[in-house]
Amino acid sequence: MILARYVAVRFLGAFLLALGGVVGIFLAVDFVDNSAGFTGPGWGPTVLLLYAYKAAVVVYQIAPAALLLGAAIATSTFRSTREYTAMRSVGLGPWRLAVPVLLTALLAGAALVVLHDLVGVEAAARAEEIAAVRFGRGGDLRRFLAAREPKRWFRGHDGRRIYRLARRIDASRMRPDGDGWILEDVEDRTFAPDGSMRLETAPARRFAFDEPAGAFSIVPGRPTEMRWATLLRQIDVRRRLGQPVADFELERYNRLAYPLVGVPGALLAVALALRRNRRGHLATSLLESVGVSLLLWGAQGVTWALGLSGRVPPWTAAWAPNVLFLLAGLLAVRRAE
């Protein structure tokens, strides 16, 4: 138990050091690259807020790779200080290092899942909004929200499809009112067959639509910027309305698979650091970590594309890299025994 705690603390320290270093470098480079666009009154506090949100996003994106790097560095230090040699001399094998690393990586991945849903999802949306509206050219919130929402056709209650836009109603807010709806800040556009358009505006107006109330339950935005409960509801709503849900299903499974990919990655990093006749320590760990991270991201990219195209089920697309690298890590640790 004492040895397991010692290994876990060493691994956790290396992981936090790697994570902080990579996130700091990324944010610094991003600031230098975009600093020319940070202008206007009160830009300083806004930039600080922007990079606080960006930091939460980058932590989520980088954490699995940092787990892998932390495992490689921690294991390499056990070899460079001859501690692993001492362990082997008393009959302790590689699993006495691998198991604490795996358990710590699993706990870190689980914490990442929860923190991303509580903080990271909102942070991603807010960072994009600030960058586009506050520091973008001609920033306008309504245009920003409209541009980021995929344009899709809706089926009516009788199954009809609309192929020519005859009318468009924009509103900042809508609420139910009996068998109708109250829309606020209304822009009602009517398009004539000759190509002309008539615009009517009103602070508030009541409308009665033929479509059921569920047709208006669609939440704008990307699935990556929806919290877990909202994501599940949107999958159900969009499926009932005949909308494509492949990217939403992929995000559903990826919410768990991506943070936990650091577990097989860390296992493989430990196995590589403990392999026989290995030369070098820190520099070799860095190279190995970069190589394994690239392979992981490449595998995720391939399976993600297959999932979006419908060639494999969404759960397979999300979890396949984790399973493949877990098997590779198990085999590599066994060879290191």
Distances (CA, A) of 158 to 124, 162, 168, 181, 316: 38, 12, 20, 20, 35
- Structure-block tokens of residue 66: 């940092």
The predicted structure's pLDDT at residue 142? 55
Q: What is the mean pLDDT of each run of 10 residues along the chain (337 residues)?
A: 86 91 91 85 87 93 91 86 82 85 93 92 86 67 54 54 73 80 89 85 86 68 86 86 84 92 90 77 77 88 88 91 91 81
pLDDT at 213: 64
Predicted pLDDT at 313:
92
Both tokens assigned to 308: 């979006």
pLDDT at 115: 93
